[in-house]
Amino acid sequence: MAYDELLEHLGEFGRYQKRIYFLLCLPAITCAFHRLVTIFLLSKAPHRCLMPFESLENATFLFPPDRPINLSLPWDSSSETWSQCRRLDANFTDEYFKSGVPSTETVQCKNWVFDYSKYSSSAVFEWDLVCDKSWMRSMADTVFMLGILIGAILFGHLSDKYGRKPIFFFSLVLQVVGGVTAGFAPEYYTFIFARLCIGISTSGVYLVAYIIGMEMVSPSKRIYAGVIMNYFFTAGYILTAFAAYFIKDWRTLQITLSLPGLAFFLYWWYVPESARWLVAKGRNAEAKQILKKAAIVNKIELSDGLLQKFLTSSDDEPEKDGNNKNPAAKSASLLDIVKYPNLRKKSLIIFFLWFVNNLSYYGLSWNVSNLGGNDYLNFLISGLVEIPAYTFILFALNRYGRKMTLCGSMLAGSVALLSCIFVPNDMSWLLITFAMTGKMAITASYGVVYIFSAEQFPTVVRNAAMGISSTAARVGGIIAAFIHQLADTWKPLPLIVIGALALSAGLLSLLLPETLNRKLPETIEDGENFGRRKARRRSSMSGEN
């Protein structure tokens, strides 16, 4: 009896699974805290040079009446404002200001005065991450996304080798320690190292919790279970906005959002190891105890005879001679997805879809402070629009199909974002409307791409191919850290770039075959033939290179 058949007998998504699944969803909230809070930790604000006639302790952003701005700062024609990075080079005496004639020479700023009207505290203010050091602000997000990439590769492998539960708890510890360290960081490089550790940990926490949750429910319930976990991430998104609004000090905010992770240490006594993983590793006695407990909670009779039948015939269990039951799986290689033309085409499109969706999601999330208006409100709306996005795909996936839901969402997002080209500079409300519409559509497409991709790849290389897809997504996230910096050149530019990428990805998705109610490919040959027109199908792949 296969493991999935046992789940049908045990309860596809019974009381026991729901209880554990709910506990596993809660850490997604803290993962959202850490992935999105840098908007407020590294908040930026208008700034100017600290002038020689001022002291850092007493200077205010506005110039005193007897020291006019046109005699202190040069005009920056590219940004159409007074320079934030240079000052006039003059002997700022009373006679100079009385003359009313500005100096023609400029020098680079050494210290800055910030406008604290919007944010009273930021790592940017504390470490002067502006002008020639503005790249360090984006680098903090890039390093964090690099950590997510490392964590996905590292913890995915370790959880397969050592078990889901120990890796999940190790990640929780790393997340709390890294979060608190970032809050106490004495300088920039300690801060970004701590952020790297947090990024690594969020992959372990979210990814492994997701795997445990998916391994507990039957195939018919996995789509819903996967999407529901996203609602908890969105809850963390929304809570981040409220926390940042009420906690103005960036260090206190970072530590406050890290400490809730301590509560999850109690899970050690409540969250079991994955029974599916235990069976795959031949640890049948431990799996049997967990399954019996689940049966009791679900009020299902599960006899020792039925369990024994499962444990000795599960198709998740390796053969005693060490050989895989499926000869095709043994011979299949990840290289096969690029060896054959149809598989190669589909794989490259899928990798691009992951790249664009991740870049778009985080690029739009991190760009809210560039839209104008109230940053806290913009961030809150950016989180709230995810709720209808995930609700939409729950109903659309099985009604309209994977391809049309994905393509339609990406094209709708691209239209909204590209419309920002025509928004006048003084209509921030319209820019925000288009940006949030685009964010909602991209969130929906991101929710679809995981399911659609998993159904495209052949079973024999599915996990490895999904790992490459996730890697492509993280590369997009790394680039997203710099996309929102384009707003320094032109406010709508990040939205337009993301919109163009979403348009190209949406159109390319039309080249993929629909998977709804289709028998999914098992072997490499199935994968090559899947989606090809019958007239073009070959009876054999032996001649293809």
Distance CA 23, CA 34 (A): 19
Confidence band of 471 (pLDDT split at 50, 70, 90): confident
Confidence band of 545 (pLDDT split at 50, 70, 90): very low
Task: Tell me which CATH code domain 1-39+127-317 carries.
Answer: 1.20.1250.20
Task: Identify the pLDDT of residue 161.
Answer: 83
Confidence band of 40 (pLDDT split at 50, 70, 90): very high
Task: Identify the pLDDT of residue 138.
Answer: 86
Domain extent listing, the chain = 1-39+127-317, 47-115, 326-545
Task: Identify the pLDDT of residue 518.
Answer: 81
Distance CA 493, CA 375 (A): 18
- What percentage of residues in the chain have a pLDDT greater than 90? 48
Residue 153 CB burial class (10 angstroms; 0-12, 13-18, ≥19): middle
326-545: in CATH 1.20.1250.20? yes
Distance CA 168, CA 165 (A): 5
Confidence band of 538 (pLDDT split at 50, 70, 90): very low
Average pLDDT over residues 34-38: 93
Average pLDDT over residues 183-207: 94
Task: Identify the pLDDT of residue 508.
Answer: 95
Q: Is the pLDDT of residue 264 over 90?
A: yes
Task: Identify the pLDDT of residue 311.
Answer: 62
Task: Identify the pLDDT of residue 397.
Answer: 86
User: pLDDT tens digits, residue range 54-76?
Assistant: 888 888 899 888 889 999 999 98
Beta strand 86-88 pairing with 106-108: antiparallel
95 in Cβ contact with 21 (< 8 Å)? no
H/E stretch holding 506 reads helix 493-508
Task: Identify the pLDDT of residue 107.
Answer: 94
Mean of the per-residue pLDDT values of the chain: 86
Q: Is the pLDDT of residue 128 over 80?
A: yes
Q: Highest-confidence range of 197-201, 284-288, 309-313, by mean pLDDT?
A: 197-201
Q: Which residue, among 455, 396, 477, has the nearest Cα to 227 in the 3D structure?
A: 396
Task: Identify the pLDDT of residue 312.
Answer: 63
Please state the pTM of the whole predicted model: 0.85
Q: Is the pLDDT of residue 212 over 80?
A: yes
Q: Highest-confidence range of 106-120, 148-162, 185-199, 451-465, by mean pLDDT?
A: 185-199
Average pLDDT over residues 162-185: 94
User: Tokens for 17?
Assistant: 């699974």
Lowest-confidence region among 156-165, 362-371, 404-413? 156-165
Task: Identify the pLDDT of residue 321.
Answer: 42
- Compare 115 and 283 and report the one with higher pLDDT: 115
User: pLDDT tens digits, residue range 313-351?
Assistant: 554 444 444 444 444 444 566 677 778 888 889 999 999
Confidence band of 524 (pLDDT split at 50, 70, 90): confident
Angle CA(250)–CA(251)–CA(257) in degrees, nearest 5? 90
- What percentage of residues in the chain have a pLDDT greater than 70? 92
CA dihedral for 231, 237, 241, 247, sign (positive or negative): positive
Distance CA 298, CA 291 (A): 10
DSSP structure class, residue 319: P
Confidence band of 41 (pLDDT split at 50, 70, 90): very high
Task: Identify the pLDDT of residue 163.
Answer: 86
40 in Cβ contact with 77 (< 8 Å)? no
> Taking the CA of residue 336 as centre, how many other CA atoms within 13 Å lie in the half-sphere pointing to its CB?
22
Task: Identify the pLDDT of residue 314.
Answer: 52
Identical fold between 1-39+127-317 and 326-545: yes
Task: Identify the pLDDT of residue 418.
Answer: 96
CA dihedral for 53, 59, 61, 66, sign (positive or negative): negative
Task: Identify the pLDDT of residue 285.
Answer: 84
- Type of residue found at 175: Q
Confidence band of 428 (pLDDT split at 50, 70, 90): confident
Confidence band of 454 (pLDDT split at 50, 70, 90): confident
Average pLDDT over residues 466-482: 86
Task: Identify the pLDDT of residue 259.
Answer: 96
Confidence band of 29 (pLDDT split at 50, 70, 90): very high
Confidence band of 458 (pLDDT split at 50, 70, 90): confident
